[in-house]
Amino acid sequence: MSEREVQERPLPRPTRISAPFWRGAAEGKLLLQRCRRCGLFIYYPRPFCPRCLAEELEWHEASGRGRVYTYTVVRRAATPAFAAMVPYVLAIVELEEGPRLVTNIVGCRPEEVRVEMPVRATFERLSDEVGLVLFRPDGMETDSADPEGQQ
Amino acid sequence: MDLRGRAAICGVGEVGPFREASDRTAVELMLEAGRLAMVDAGLEPAEVDGLLVAPLLVGAPVTLPSMLAEYLGLSPTYADIVDLGGATAAGMVWRAAAAVAAGAARAVLCLTGEAVDPESFYTRGVRWPGLPLPEFERPYGPMGANSGYAMIAMRHGYEYGTTDRQRAKVAVDQRQNACANPRALFYGRPITVDDVLESPVIVDPLHLLEIVMPCSGAIAFVVARPEVAREGLHPPVYLLGFGEKVTHSMPSHAPNLTTSAVAYTARRAFEMAGVEPQDIDLVSVYDCYTITVIVTLEDAGFCPKGRGGPFVEEHDLTYRGDFPVNTHGGQLSYGQPGLAGGASHVLEAVYQLRGEAGERQVRDCQLAFVQGNGGIMSEQVSLILGVEP
Ligand SMILES: [Zn+2]
């Protein structure tokens, strides 16, 4: 692996399958696939339903609400790219719709995060094509989508 | 397939572990362990007709089995690569036994090993195009397996009240075991619960001394037909039961982060072997982190679900204790030489069942439970090994 990949934050590289998800996040929307045949909500994006194998999937804008299934506070950066963020909260959020995803909790101090805490999606726009899906404690003011400004 | 008593481990080879590989390559270490295992089995290359190889964490070339077979002087009638992370070695044992039972081979050499490159620890695999891990997890800064197991420990604490002190006890008892194993990286360096709790928190709630140390080394073993094993130089160690299950890759996709597939694999293994958890003399289970041992003991049925914390506090897990666990020190104190780390649990079970564990020998050791675990409790393999078929 190159020096550059270690130094820079590894950003999503959208594929033919995942591009709508990342573009949605850039536009402030959390998009999940939903199977038209069996109704399953699917994350991460796939070409077919992992429960019934149907290819008929549609994009569905999720509520953005969920709760912290579990989390940790990263105190030593995995790679130099994350050194400036330390300490940061890495979490698994369970969405209202069912799927769980790996994300960061922003908008509060790491000590304030709790298991089962209600959270709401917030977005970090990186380009027209890519945004990161982050979460903040639910019920707080959400006028800013800039996680850097909240820490 | 019921493999009870259909094959036995009849040779083992151990190289290292070493903190540094110096100028030795992973392949060189694996080949040396393979040579030692064949010598230990009393077999020459012409008598070994099966080969299973672990991939190298730094990236294995394709056709690795044929390259290593050629080097070792083997012409196997059964050759494959087994890629189950930390469950690879345990997965090799039953695959080799199945090959033997099916008549595909008489004696199968299984190779694991690594020359560690600490620089690549958190970043290997970054280039996998089209796979979900780099795309949907890495942008958020996971810390390799550390953060995955930290999140298991956090949720386990929330659901069951498991404490830092309880997890620390696992590291302390295993370190005491390592102090009776001269090969262990942390031989001669006992620790206390306070030492663990005073070591820096790396990923909440895990402390430095609850986290495995990557190192270099290699472990190999030979699994053979019982009649081949009985002609060997050591008492055969029979495979009596196994179970395997793969539930997820990323921790976000685990069906349940605090109850693992061990609940399934151990039940399968115990049923096949016709024994119960209380019959086991030695527990040799994957320990990349302290929490891994606690979840595994619960799910394997050694204690009720959620009681793993109090259980490890109430029992002496050392080789002299009432419930010996990871008597070689476990990976936490022996070291984790790549995928050979998971082979260390198989190796220790063999030493103990043969009665060759020296100072740390568990008295009258007849039955061992071995667990291999890959990824973030993703790949699970249970084995029951014993001295009688
Ligand atoms: Zn479906």
User: How large is the average pLDDT for residues B41-60?
Assistant: 90
Distances from the Cα of B266 to the Cαs of B123, B269, B341, in angstroms?
32, 5, 20
pLDDT for residue A6: 53
Residues of chain B in contact with residue A92, where contact means CB-CB under 8 angstroms, are 151, 251-252, 257
CB proximity A82 to B under 8 Å: yes
Q: Residue A96: which domain range?
A: 3-137
DSSP assignment of A9-74 equals -------TTTHHHHHHHHTT--EEEEETTT--EESS--SS-TTT----EEEEE---EEEEEEEEEE
Residue of A75, A115, A132 lying closest to B158 (CB–CB)? A115
pLDDT, averaged across chain B: 95
| Nearest-CB residue to B143 (from A5, A70, A78) | A78
Q: Could you read off the pLDDT of B237-253 as tens digits, one per residue?
A: 999 999 999 999 999 99
pTM: 0.95
Q: How confident is the model at residue B1 (pLDDT cuts 50, 70, 90)?
A: low
Q: Is B141 in Cβ contact with A11 (below 8 Å)? A: no
Q: Which two tokens stand for residue B52?
A: 């299973």
In this structure, the dihedral spanned by the alpha carbons of residues B111, B49, B285 and B337, taken in order and rounded to 10 degrees, is 0
What mean pLDDT comes out for the span B80-91?
96
Domain count, chain A: 1
Q: Examine the pLDDT at B192 and tell me if it is beyond 80.
A: yes
The backbone torsions φ and ψ at residue B319, rounded to the nearest 5 degrees and listed phi first, read: -65, -20
Give me ligand 1 centre to Cα A32, in Å. Answer: 13
Residues with CB under 5 A from ligand 1 (ion): A 35, 37-38, 40, 49, 51-52, 54
User: Is the pLDDT reported for residue B92 higher than 50?
Assistant: yes
**% of residues, chain B, pLDDT over 70:** 96
> Which residues of chain B lie closer than 8 angstroms to A83, CB-CB?
none
Amino acid A146: pLDDT: 47
Q: Which carries the bigger pLDDT value, residue B33 or residue B57?
A: B33
Residues of B in contact with A85 (CB under 8 A): 141
Instruction: Give the CA distances from residue B333 to residues A11, A56, A72, B329, in Å, rounded to whole numbers and listed in that order.
Output: 36, 51, 24, 5
**Residue A144 domain-assigned (yes or no):** no
Q: How many CB atoms within 10 Å of residue B130?
A: 11
Instruction: Check if CATH label 3.40.47.10 holds for domain B8-118+213-386.
Output: yes
Q: Is A145 part of a structural domain of the chain?
A: no
SS3 B109: strand
Residue A142 covered by a domain: no
Separation between Cα atoms, residue B327 and residue B171, nearest integer Å: 12
Q: Do the beta carbons of residue B238 and residue B350 sit within 8 Å?
A: no
Residue A79 pLDDT class (50, 70, 90 cuts): confident
The SS3 call for residue B183 is coil
Is A124 within a domain?
yes
**Within a domain: residue A103?**
yes
Given a cut of 90, whether residue B79 has pLDDT beyond it is: yes
Q: B132-163 pLDDT, tens per residue?
A: 888 899 899 998 899 999 999 999 999 999 99
What mean pLDDT do residues B202-212 have? 96
How far apart are the CA of A93 and the centre of ligand 1, in A? 22
Question: Measuring CA to CA, which residue among B311, B389, B317 is closest to residue B353?
Answer: B389
Q: Which chain A residues are Cβ-neighbours of B123 within 8 angstroms?
A: 1, 5-6, 78-79
Rg of the Cα atoms in chain B? 19
Instruction: Show the DSSP H helices in B125-275 as ranges.
Output: 132-136, 144-160, 164-178, 193-198, 226-230, 262-273
Residues of B in contact with A135 (CB under 8 A): none
B138 vs A10, A91, A92: nearest CB: A10
Averaged confidence pLDDT in chain A: 89
